[in-house]
Amino acid sequence: DIQMTQSPSSLSASIGDRVTITCRASQSISRYLNWYQQKPGKAPKLLMYAASTLQSGVPSRFSGSGSGTDFTLTISSLQPEDFATYYCQHTYSTLTWTFGQGTKVEIK
Amino acid sequence: EVQLGQSGAEVKKPGESLKISCKASGYSFTNYWIGWVRQMPGKGLDWMGMIDPGDSDTRYSPSFQGQVTISADKSITTAYLHWSSLRASDTAMYYCVRRIAVAGTWAFDFWGQGTMVNVSS
């Protein structure tokens, strides 16, 4: 199975900060990588697919990059509504669409 | 408006059976696979499996194969997740999701609100 490892597991940041979250796959997954945002008590929301394509309605301060095994999610200027947990997910092989363990972004 | 409306929270005992539901609306139900995702308390997300509501073709994550059954009734645009014998370790929030094909890959673009299942003696 392909394992997805996110780092850091949590981070503290201030409003306006640039934040970067990393996701590493245990083998190459091309660009079959999605990012989701989950706020407390809510269902996850799709942010980005194919590593760097923003889902409709997602603010442009979110961006993604990477291919192969290493990917990043960047928030260019952190806003109050961005405090949440972020998950990466690969869709490289049909039956094992593994998620990363999550990165919790907290207020400093 | 696309919506996935899930059934309410459940409290069950170990060994009991359970079927939770996911009612889809606002789109053509048979055009998109519906999947299920587990989130254990305080933990991350686990992909369980999915179904093509058009022909009931079903795929399971190896971790959940044989542990649950996914089904759908296209006449009422509803998908289901069924356990024949619950365990305490099944205690979790369960989300249904709509799978879309985008940019040569797939993603889950709509999520239900979740169904909390609590299994305790």
Q: Using one digit for the tens of pLDDT, what is the confidence trace for B69-97?
A: 999 999 999 999 999 999 999 999 999 99
Tell me the two tokens of residue A54. 């923003």
Longest dimension (CA), chain A: 39
Using the beta-carbon criterion (under 8 Å), do B108 and A46 form an inter-chain contact?
yes
B111 close to B95: Cβ distance less than 8 angstroms: yes
Nearest-angstrom CA–CA distance, B5 and B76: 13
The alpha carbon of B44 is separated from its chain's Cα centroid by a whole number of angstroms, namely 16
pLDDT in tens, B5-32: 999 999 999 999 999 999 999 999 999 9
Which candidate, B56, B59, B61, places its Cα nearest to that of B72?
B56
Tell me the two tokens of residue A58. 């997602």
B101 close to B109: Cβ distance less than 8 angstroms: no
The SS3 of residue B80 is strand
Question: What number of C-beta contacts closer than 8 Å exist between A and B?
Answer: 61
Q: Would an 8 Å CB–CB cutoff place A81 in contact with chain B?
A: no
Q: Would an 8 Å CB–CB cutoff place A71 in contact with chain B?
A: no
Q: Would an 8 Å CB–CB cutoff place A103 in contact with chain B?
A: no
Q: Where are the alpha helices (DSSP H) in A1-108?
A: none
Other C-beta atoms lying within 10 Å of the C-beta of residue B83: 18
Query: Which position has the token pair 């929030």?
Result: B93
Residue of A nearest to B108 (CA): A46
Sequential DSSP letters for A57-84 = T--TTEEEEEETTEEEEEESS--GGG-S
Q: Would an 8 Å CB–CB cutoff place A31 in contact with chain B?
A: yes
| The pairing of beta strand B34-39 with beta strand B45-52 | antiparallel
The CA-atom distances, in angstroms, between B59 and each of B29, B52, B62 are: 17, 9, 9
Helices then strands, counting H and E runs in chain B, come out as 0, 11
pLDDT in tens, A41-100: 999 999 999 999 999 999 999 999 999 999 999 999 999 999 999 999 999 987 789 999
Nearest-angstrom CA–CA distance, A107 and A15: 8
What pLDDT is attached to residue B26? 97
Using the beta-carbon criterion (under 8 Å), do A44 and B44 form an inter-chain contact?
no
Compare CB distances from B103 to A36, A53, A87 and report the shortest one's residue. Answer: A53
Compare CB distances from A43 to B61, B105, B112 and report the shortest one's residue. Answer: B112
pLDDT band at A107 (very low <50, low <70, confident <90, very high): confident
Q: What are phi and psi of A3, to 5 degrees?
A: -100, 140
Using the beta-carbon criterion (under 8 Å), do B59 and A46 form an inter-chain contact?
no
**Per-residue pLDDT for B49 more than 80?**
yes
